[in-house]
C-alpha cells in the first residue's frame, strides 16, 4: 500500500513555521515495497503523534490530501477505517493505549482475537523474546513503562498489516530491549512484506532505515 501526502498541514500546526525539509505542506510518497523502514525524526511539538493519528483516521483536522493507493482518505467511511485499522495499518501509540485492568496476555489477546493472527503458543514465544513471559498474567497497571511498551509492541504485531506505525516505541527501553523489539518488528515486516514508520525525538543511529522523514 502506498501512502501519498499532498501539501498536508494539520490545523493546529498551520500557524507554526516549518523547515524546508519538513514533510508538512510538501508532497511525498511512502511505498512499502520500496521503503520498508522509515524513520520520522522531529523534536517535541512538531506533530509526530498527529502524523501517526492522521494515518489511522483518528484525526481529520488537516488541509491538503492524504491518499492510500491513490484514494483520498477523506472519503473513507467508518467501515473503511475499521478495515484499515484491522487489516492494513497497525499502530503503537505513544501513550500505549493498554487496558490497565487486564493482564499482559489479555491485552495482546484482545487484539489477536479480531483476526486470529497468532496462536497463544506463538504469542507466548513473542513474550519470551521480549523477556516478559513470566509477567504474562500480571496486570498491566502494575508494570513499568518499559514493560508496557513491549506489551504494546507485541499487541500491534498481532494483526495483518501493510504498514505499522510506531510512535516513539522505545522511549522507555534500554538498548538491549530496544534492539530485541526492533528486530521483532523488522522480521515480522519482512515476513509479511510490510513497512514500518518509526517516530523518534532523537536521531536513531543504531538501526538501519530506508527512508528518513523530518517534521
Partner 1 sequence: MLKKVLFHNQDKTQLFIAVLGSIIGMVFLISSIHYLIRVNEFGKGEEILGPNTMIIQKKISNSSSLNISKNDFTKEEIERFKKESFVADAQAVICNNFNVLLLTDDKLVPKFSSDVFLQTVNTKFLDVSGEKWQWSEGDTIVPIVMPRDFLVMLNTFMSASGIPQVSEDLAKDIKFKLRISNETKRDFITAKIVGFTNEIPSLLVPESFMNYANQKYATEKEKKITNVMISSKEGEFGEMEKFLEERGLESRKSQVIIGKLKSIVSTLFIVLLVISIVTVLVSGLVLIQYMQLLIVNNKYQIRTLLRLGYKPKKIIMKFTKYLSSIFGLVSIFSLGLFFIEKLLVDGLFEKGGISINTSISFISLISVFISFCIFALVSFIVAKRKILNEFFS
Q: Which residues bind partner 1 (CB under 8 A)?
A: 56-60, 78, 81-82, 85-87, 91, 93, 97-99, 101-102, 106, 109-111, 113-115, 155, 159
Instruction: Find the shortest distance in angstroms from Cβ 85 to partner 1.
Output: 4
Q: Which is nearer to partner 1, 109 or 204 (CB)?
A: 109
SS3 167: strand
> Shortest Cβ distance from residue 27 to partner 1 (Å)?
25
The nearer residue to partner 1, 66 or 180, going by C-beta atoms, is 66
Q: Would you put residue 195 in left (φ > 0), alpha (ψ -120 to 50) or beta?
A: beta
Whose Cβ is closer to partner 1: residue 59's or residue 211's?
59
CA angle, 147 then 151 then 152, to 5°: 115
- Smallest separation, CB 46 to partner 1 (Å): 22
Helical spans, DSSP H, in the chain = 48-55, 78-83, 104-115, 120-129, 145-157, 175-192
We find the least distance from the C-beta atom of residue 141 to partner 1, in angstroms, to be: 11
Cα separation values, 198 from 55, 94, 214, Å: 13, 11, 12
- Residue closer to partner 1 by CB (options 36, 93) is 93
CA neighbours closer than 13 Å in the CB half-sphere of residue 58: 12
Nearer to partner 1, 37 or 111 (CB): 111
Asked if 48 contacts 59 with a C-beta cutoff of 8 angstroms, the reply is no
Q: How far is the CB of 57 from partner 1 (least distance, A)?
A: 7
Q: Smaller CB distance to partner 1: residue 97 or 208?
A: 97
CB of 97 to partner 1, least distance (A): 5
- 160-169 burial by CB neighbour count: b if 16+ within 10 A, else e? ebbbbbbbbb
CA atoms of 52 and 59, how far apart (whole Å): 9
Amino acid at each position: 500500500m502506498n501512502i501519498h501526502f499532498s501539501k498536508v498541514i494539520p490545523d493546529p500546526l498551520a500557524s507554526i513555521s516549518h523547515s524546508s525539509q519538513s514533510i508538512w505542506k510538501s508532497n511525498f510518497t511512502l511505498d512499502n515495497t520500496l521503503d520498508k523502514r522509515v524513520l520520522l525524526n522531529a523534536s517535541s511539538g512538531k506533530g509526530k503523534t498527529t502524523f501517526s493519528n492522521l494515518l489511522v483516521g483518528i484525526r481529520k483536522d488537516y488541509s491538503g490530501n492524504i491518499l492510500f493507493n491513490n484514494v483520498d482518505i477523506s472519503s473513507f467511511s467508518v467501515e473503511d477505517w475499521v478495515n484499515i485499522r484491522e487489516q492494513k495499518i497497525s499502530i503503537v501509540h505513544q501513550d500505549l493505549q493498554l487496558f490497565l485492568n487486564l493482564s499482559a496476555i489479555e491485552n495482546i489477546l484482545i487484539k489477536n482475537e479480531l483476526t486470529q493472527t497468532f496462536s497463544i503458543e506463538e504469542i507466548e514465544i513473542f513474550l519470551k523474546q521480549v523477556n516478559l513471559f513470566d509477567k504474562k498474567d500480571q496486570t498491566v497497571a502494575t508494570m513499568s513503562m518499559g514493560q508496557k511498551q513491549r506489551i504494546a509492541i507485541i499487541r500491534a504485531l498481532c494483526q495483518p498489516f501493510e504498514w505499522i506505525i510506531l510512535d516513539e516505541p522505545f522511549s522507555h527501553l534500554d538498548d538491549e530491549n530496544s534492539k530485541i523489539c526492533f528486530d521483532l518488528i523488522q522480521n515480522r515486516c519482512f515476513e509479511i512484506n510490510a513497512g514500518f514508520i518509526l517516530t523518534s525525538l532523537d536521531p536513531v543511529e543504531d538501526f538501519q532505515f530506508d527512508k528518513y522523514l523530518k517534521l
